[in-house]
Structure 1
Amino acid sequence: MNKILPFAALALLAGPAAAKTVTIAPGPDAQSRLQGALIEAQPGDVIALGAGRFELTDGLSLDVAKVTIRGAGADKTILGFKGQLGAGEGLLVTSDDVVLRDFAVEDTKGDGIKSKGANRIVYRGLRVTWTGGPKPTNGAYGVYPVASHDVLIDGVTVSGASDAGIYVGQSENIIVRNSVASGNVAGIEIENSRHADVTGNTATHNTGGILVFDLPNLPRGNGGDVRVFRNKVVDNDTPNFAPKGNIVASVRNGTGVLVMANENVQVTDNDLSGNATANVMVVSYRNAFTDAHYNPYPRRIEVAGNRHGRAGYDPQLPGADQLKAAFGGAIPPILWDGAGGPELGLLVTDKVPVLSLGLPQGAAMEAVKPAVIDLSKGAAIAPPAPVILPTGMEEAAR
């Protein structure tokens, strides 16, 4: 016997609604119109942001998979948060297969754009900045994917972050490329993450340029298999403006590339100059910790084929004047803290001197015993495999 199906059942039989493009223009009620579009989006939809300035008073959020948020260009579509009432992110994404591209985020109270547990996410052609310049009251992170796998950050520009401009944490299978980080505390930061390629970027006028490290007592640790190659890490000279108590508040002004408590890291084919403390620093984590699974030492680190310019001319280290005097006005451009020994597998074949501070784990920084050492005799590490992203992510970034 034929039955008349209810409307809801007919809708299910018809399948999902066709993907659509929803265009949102700046102007009155931009906050509610834009957030409403993000709530009502369906998988496959494009939220197209028109050219102009969106004046927003609260953070935005997206929790729908397979959505693209696309502006008219990083200098044409601007999400402005000077009037933000809360202290959260400008945009928070908690869904998979999202593409964020071609718009700017300015002056958020918290992080610029954060994604959490969002797999296969693409950040492309974005700009995040705090227009008042470096201040400890700026948001901590510019772009901030965390707890994710398959992350692509491509052609992003970030300035003014009071922690890291471009940060990826507790994640796996990551590419950060063709981006510019300037005027942040840390330019680019790979933290507690595994399988990352950091390439073709410029990190300049930060406190520290590119940082690769592990911290204890986080949900995910034991990071490594990181390649830092073909970047320009130059003139990182901004005084540290991180809020007191933040881990990056300890980053020395004039740090180029920093590797701390990580394993299987290659720093190769980079242009390194104008970093007043050191072009490359390889160090252990020197604070007390209770994490039984944490290894504070850098292991199997290779520094090779880099081009070094001026460095070490104003090291932010205890006894800096004596150190400079001992080495003719500038310390060597590559610095190892001296904790651990040959078992760490440190290999440096750049044609510049390496300075060991001679600091065993647990020793105070004031106890430096500097000496030039040769780290060129170790065995080469097995190079980390290139990161390969899932099909479709590269296409989404074009």
Structure 2
Amino acid sequence: MKTIKTIKLATAVAAGLTLAACGSDSKNSPVTMSMAANSNASVVALTKITDSTCFEANECSASGYTFPNDAIVIDATSGEDITNKLSAAVNDASQNSVIVLPKGTFKVNKSLAISSSQSGLTLVGYGIDQTKLDFSDSSADDGIKITGGTNFVLRDFSVYEAAKNGIKVDQVNGIHFNYVSAIWETPLNAESEESGANGIYGLYPVGSQNVLVENSYSKGSVDAGIYVGQSDNIVVRNNVAEHNIAGIEIENSSNADVYENVTFDNTGGILIFDLPGLDKAFGSNVRIFNNHSYDNNLPNYGSGFVGYIPKGTGALVLASDGVEFYSNQFDDNDTQAIALTSFFLIDEDIESYGANYGATIMNGWTPITNNIYIHENNYKNNASDPDLDPETSLLAEVSLGYLAGQNSAGKAVTHPAIIYDGIGQLLTEAGALTDMGLNPGTFTDTMCVEHSVDQNDNGSTLNIGSVYGLNPTELDAENNPVNFDENDKPVPTLRVGELGSDSNTLLKCSTSPTRLNPSIATINGVTYGCGAGGDDENSDSCNL
């Protein structure tokens, strides 16, 4: 078995008609330069003024950060172009300096570059909704870019209309985003990327260690609003990602905790990707918990790998190993709450993997998704109107099959809220991926879904589905292979089971997996997060 059969539309639909029994519209927020005018409570909370007396005296930010007496203060009037003043302040800053941005809205006409010579720099404004840097007149570059160094703090300001990325941080050990936003006001559309009206990434730490993104916001990104890539020791908490292609994305990163975030009106709310060909070959130990992912029904106007996300996706895992979802709330995501997919849905030609991905496979990357534990999550009214456009959804044909289907008892099938492609597991257990170091037995009790809470009030059944069967030796009543055709190619059978039912066997483990370890980020000698010594170690979220 060396090649994968393409999931053709006709095949998926036909399979859907004989499923094996295994026992809302997007709500776009107002376009406005004032975050406080946004009616969403989770966004408004970020703009709250903690101490009005201190704030009005220009002694602290809206979030309560007190400006030190020796801070470098940029003096400017709202509406002014502060490009030169800002560049001069950064160039004059020594290590561990504090630069205070002025209160108001200001033009910046070129990228602000910060390097390792400014390690320890704190760049602070008067508040996420009080200091606004408008990069609409800048050329094709990032709004703010930090390269190298340690222990940077960015807080209490917003970046608008950056030509490329809002704030990019590369090769840094210790970066703290706090009450920061990256915003593009133009609603996403089919011309967004080509026209340049919307930037690529909002908050964008990459290739870094000890990353903390909290109390922050991103809107209008044509890729990911909050993205952490090829990094280690990560905490992403209490953020809001709205109206991006991907709300929050963790890519090829290890030891990441993502909690207490809100994602809505994105194409996909929360993504965990491991992609081939990157300097950091793969990630691991990613925990997604106590988040609210809802109404992520924005049409997919993206390109690259995010261009495969079905609109209406609460969360999606692609080719990742070691991910735990728990205590999350998934509501009104029209295609599915959670999708678990292998890289084979993007590139089905196994015979080409040696030539195309050999180096990254040698470094430990694999195309499969494995060691996924999903438990104690709440699901309400997901999968009610799945994305059926094969140009933008890697699961469009699968969804068509499920919508056409009924189980062996003749009961109409509700489109699964959790979908697992299953192809990586089937091929691994059949011995077809040994050249990648994937041997039969790899998947023993490693893909587990349990203790799901059905909150549906629209009459639908909370289902789980597997596109392919998972047992390579399964036979039908006439002793013919069920999951492979006469040419030993995998056949999609679109399995379905009702979550919580005793008869369901899909992703049902005999024993619960070991929980993943909590993560921390240490910046300026302070430890943040749920792990040992972290500031949230004893919080309710960290003890779920």
Common fold: TM-score over 0.5: yes
Matched position secondary structure for 1:292:
helix
Distance 1:124 1:178, change over 3 A: same
- Could you tell me how far apart the structure 2 residues matched to 1:257 and 1:29 are? 40
Confirm or deny: 8 A CA contact 2:183 2:219 kept in the other structure. Answer: yes
The answer on 1:169 being equivalent to 2:279 is no
Q: How far off its partner does 1:251 sit?
A: 0.9
> 250-259 or 190-199: which moved more?
250-259
The CA distance in 1 between the partners of 2:180 and 2:491, in whole Å, is 44
Question: What are the ranges of 5 or more consecutive residues in structure 1 without an aligned counterpart?
Answer: 1-17
**1:1-398 map, 5 Å:** 20-27=70-77, 28-63=80-115, 64-84=118-138, 86-94=139-147, 95-134=149-188, 135-136=192-193, 137=196, 138-243=198-303, 246-286=304-344, 287=347, 289-290=356-357, 291-293=360-362, 294-316=365-387, 317-318=396-397, 320-326=399-405, 328=412, 330-341=414-425, 343-344=442-443, 345-351=446-452, 352-358=462-468, 368-372=492-496, 373-390=505-522, 391-392=525-526, 394=528
- Paired residues of 1:347 and 1:378 also in contact (CA < 8 A): no
Q: Secondary structure at the match of 1:233?
A: strand
1:370: how far off? 0.6
Contact conserved, 1:284 with 1:298, CA < 8 A, in 2? Answer: yes
Residues 172-215 of structure 1: per-residue CA shift (max 9 Å, x gap): 00000000001000000000000000000001110001001100
Checking the alignment, whether the CA contact within 8 Å between 1:24 and 1:48 is kept in structure 2 is: yes
SS in 1 for 2:106: strand
Aligned sequence identity (%): 33
CA distance in 1, matches of 2:140, 2:214: 27
Amino acid at match of 1:49: L
For the Cα contact (< 8 Å) 2:181–2:203, is it kept in 1? Answer: no
- In the superposition, the TM-score normalised over structure 1's length comes to 0.89
Task: Name the CA distance, whole Å, in 1 between partners of 2:114 and 2:398.
Answer: 50
> How much has 1:29 moved relative to structure 2?
4.9
Aligned-partner residue type, residue 306 of structure 1 = N
Q: What SS is found at the alignment partner of 1:39?
A: helix
CA gap 1:359/1:52 in 2 versus in 1, 3 angstroms = farther
SS at match of 1:340: helix
Is the contact between residue 319 and residue 368 of structure 2 (CA under 8 Å) also seen in structure 1? yes
8 Å contact kept, 1:152–1:393 = no
- State how far apart, in whole Å, the 2-side matches of 1:163 and 1:61 are: 22
C-alpha displacement at 1:21, in angstroms?
0.5
> 1:19, 1:72 → 2: CA distance?
15
- Name the count of aligned residue pairs: 374
Instruction: Map Cα deviations across residues 118-148 of structure 1 (whole Å, 9 max, x no partner).
Output: 1111000011110112132311100000011
In 2, are the aligned partners of 1:183 and 1:238 still within 8 Å (CA)?
A: yes
4+ residue runs of structure 1 moved beyond 4 angstroms?
none
Of structures 1 and 2, the one with the larger relative CO (CA 8 A, separation 6+) is: 2
Q: Distance in 2 between matches of 1:179 and 1:29?
A: 29
TM-superposed deviation, 1:319: 5.6
- Give secondary structure in 2 for the equivalent of 1:125: strand
RMSD: 2.4
Q: Which runs of 5+ in 2 are unaligned?
A: 1-67, 348-352, 388-395, 407-411, 426-440, 453-461, 471-483, 485-489, 497-504, 530-534, 537-544
Shift in Å, 1:378 = 4.2
Structure (1 or 2) with the greater strand fraction: 1
Amino acid at match of 1:90: G
Could you tell me how far apart the structure 2 residues matched to 1:199 and 1:176 are?
Answer: 6
CA drift of 1:302 comes to 0.4
More displaced stretch, 345-354 vs 19-28 = 19-28
Question: What is the CA distance between 1:241 and its match in structure 2?
Answer: 1.3
CA contact (8 A) 2:401 2:494 kept: no
TM-score (ref. length: structure 2): 0.65
Select between 120-129 and 366-375 the one with higher mean Cα deviation: 366-375
Task: Say if 2:219 and 2:241, in contact at 8 Å, map to a contact too.
Answer: yes
